Amino acid sequence: MTIATQNSAPRRRFGGGFKLKLFAYALVAPVVLLILGLVAYPFLFAIWVSFTDMVIGSTGNFIGFKNFEYLAGTATFWAAIRNTITIVLVSDVLKLLIGLGLALLVHQNLPGRGIFRSFLMLPWAMPAFVAFLTWRVLYQPIGGGINLILNQTGLYAGTVDWLGTRNTAMASVIIASVWRGFPFWFISILAALQSVPKELYEAAIVDGANTWQRFWNVTIPSILPVIIVTTLLSSIWTANGFEHVWLLTAGGPSDATMVFPVLAFFGMQTQRIGEAAAVSVYMLPVLAILVIFATSLMMRREE
Amino acid sequence: MASLAEIASAAPTNAGASARRRFLIARLLSYAALIVAVILVLFPVYWMLATSLKLPRDILRVPSLWPSRFSLANFEKLLADGQFLLSIRNSFIVASTVTVISVIISSFAAYSMVRFRYRFRGVIGRLILFAYLTPGSLLFIPLSIVMAQLKLGNSLQGLILVYLTFSLPLSTWLLQGYFRGVPRELEEQGMIDGLTRFGALLRITLPLSAPGLAAVAIFTFTGAWNELLFALVLTTSESVRTAPLALNYLITSDVLPWGPLMAGAAISSVPLMILYFVAQRFMVAGMTEGSVKG
């Protein structure tokens, strides 16, 4: 086991060898131990639990794939798969379009752009639980802000129960989570735009590229790595998000907005822990691919 | 740059007047789009504040954009039995304890990983990033069992421990970036002047990374302040409820007490939003550096 400071010359001055090694490990140890104990161990434990018939208060017996088979036979499970995919795909696309569009607007040399940037970031600064509770109130059929505006502007005269109707519940959940989630895309893309070298545009202009060609051939390729990382992170967070569905609809009406985390939570509430864990573990293969992909990209960017 | 304004400025200059007009139109359209976006962003925030200030009986009976009669009745009702204040206090205890613990030990870890080369360093780096991306929805079930075994279920201590699962990886990851920016020559100079290595970390690296530490502290505090799922699973008694949990239980009753709900939402978010406007410069920098969900 060798250890050295990154720059080997002053190494002797620091007391060198064993003591330094011990110091380095001692500093990193608390975080590593806590992560092993509070993330790695529970993670593996969850996988084990998903193969048992554990209920609250029992240790559970190994029952093979029974939990997974049982879940695959329920309509709620398939609703959760459909809904989770829908929410992730639709809200990613919307957040990308809105985030990119607003970033391009703010990136211009407009007077007052700083103020716009600050306000556009506001949903990110608002706690998620506050944001979704507020949207829940906005969506109320009577006294809610959305119906009020539709009625007063004359766009629509009726009364819609946005969260309580199968046709509108999913769209309502997606709109609220796009509202809360787009600032992350907006600011990431804006930062990427600001780091594109000006020379690239100048070269493109010399080559006679018009605005549209510059956008496709310079801007998009330059910010693509950021967009990919953002898409991966956002997909992981959206697929595993709990608050947006829980606080708006709790998965209803009749599973129209049921997603994996909420389903797992309900399993937990009915005390069938094995089944609840199996719900989470079902997500694992897709999640693992996204996480491994995202980690490699983030580590590379860090180098 | 591919922007609306550029479409105009790219126009041939000999057509001066028409280029000028197109430039103005592009500007106008840009502002119009941005103003619409800001209105859509602000409307829910406004609705929360307006609802909280309405007279409770007006909320349903006289739906209006602007409160027809201002009243603090919702706040009085929310705070009357002291339960919500207790939950705010609990949230404050949990969030600040997590912040202190997390900032201290993750700055040690980040420093170790940035300044030394040793075996497992790459593995540890990957472990931290994996831990950051491992979602709470996967961990809440096993953690609730583990906490029960440790006899830490239904306690603020248990919540504090559990919140380290998301705060430590994020803080360590972010601080590594900040520490890389501190020139090692400054530390070496300090050590020539008689500081120990640990002394150099405390007296030189940490003070120079103050903006980073502040950003990390804010992210940790808000992350813990906002957390709902773990709190929902781990705590049962009212005495250890955090603010998100207290509001969550308000909506599980049959009649939505909108006024008090929005009053509670305002109390638990306005301080954070003010903090954001004060500290946004380095919060936004930290967010884009380290990919922070918020």
In this prediction, residue B196 has a pLDDT band, given cuts at 50, 70 and 90, of confident
Give me the CATH code for the A75-302 domain, please.
1.10.3720.10
Judged by a CB distance cut-off of 8 A, whether residue A276 touches chain B is yes
Euclidean distance between CA atoms B224 and B49, whole angstroms: 23
Interface test mutation site (partner A, options B116, B274, B289, B292, max chain A beta carbons within 10 A): B116
Euclidean distance between CA atoms A263 and A67, whole angstroms: 14
pLDDT 10s digits, A237-273: 999 999 999 999 988 798 999 999 999 999 888 888 8
Alpha-carbon separation of residue B108 from A45, A160, A251, B175 (angstroms): 28, 54, 42, 9
Judged by a CB distance cut-off of 8 A, whether residue B197 touches chain A is yes
Euclidean distance between CA atoms A274 and A17, whole angstroms: 49
Set out the domains of chain B in order of their start, with CATH numbers.
4-53 (no CATH), 76-290 (1.10.3720.10)
Name the strand (E) or helix (H) holding A69: helix A66-72
Give the bridge partners for B117, in sequence order.
Answer: A4
* Spatial contact of A174 and A87, defined as CB atoms under 8 Å apart: yes
pLDDT in the model for residue A234: 92
Does B124 have pLDDT greater than 70?
yes
The DSSP bridge pattern shows strands A4-5 and B116-117 to be antiparallel
| Percent of chain A residues past pLDDT 90, beyond the cut | 48
pLDDT in the model for residue B253: 67
* Spatial contact of A225 and A300, defined as CB atoms under 8 Å apart: no
- Report chain B's C-alpha Rg in angstroms: 25
Query: Could you tell me which of B148, B212, B160 has the C-alpha nearest to residue B182?
Result: B212
Euclidean distance between CA atoms B164 and B162, whole angstroms: 5
pLDDT in the model for residue A14: 46
What phi and psi, each to the nearest 5 degrees, are found at residue A39? Answer: -120, -55
Q: Find the mean pLDDT for residues A10-25.
A: 69
Work out the minimum CA distance from B235 to partner chain A, whole angstroms. Answer: 13
Would the pTM count as exceeding 0.90? no
Q: Do B33 and A105 touch (CB under 8 A)?
A: yes
Interface test mutation site (partner A, options B31, B41, B165, B273, max chain A beta carbons within 10 A): B41
DSSP for B163-217 reads HHHHHHHHHHHHHHHHHHTS-HHHHHHHHHTT--HHHHIIIIIHHHTHHHHHHHH
Neighbours of B271 (CB within 10 A): 12
- Give the dihedral sign, CA B85/B90/B96/B99: negative
pLDDT in the model for residue B56: 79
Judged by a CB distance cut-off of 8 A, whether residue B87 touches chain A is no
Average pLDDT of chain A is: 87
Q: What's the token pair of residue B102?
A: 């997390």
Q: Find the mean pLDDT for residues A58-77.
A: 87
Judged by a CB distance cut-off of 8 A, whether residue A150 touches chain B is no
B196-200 contact pairs (CB < 8 A, 24+): B197/A14, B197/A15, B197/A20, B197/A23, B198/A23
Is 0.90 exceeded by the ipTM?
A: no
Neighbours of B60 (CB within 10 A): 15
Indicate the residue of A42, A140, A187 with minimum beta-carbon distance to B146.
A42
pLDDT in the model for residue A68: 92
Euclidean distance between CA atoms B35 and A117, whole angstroms: 11
Domain boundaries, chain A: 9-50, 75-302
Q: How many residues does chain A have?
A: 303
In this prediction, residue B245 has a pLDDT band, given cuts at 50, 70 and 90, of very high
Judged by a CB distance cut-off of 8 A, whether residue B143 touches chain A is yes
In this prediction, residue B290 has a pLDDT band, given cuts at 50, 70 and 90, of low
Judged by a CB distance cut-off of 8 A, whether residue B92 touches chain A is no
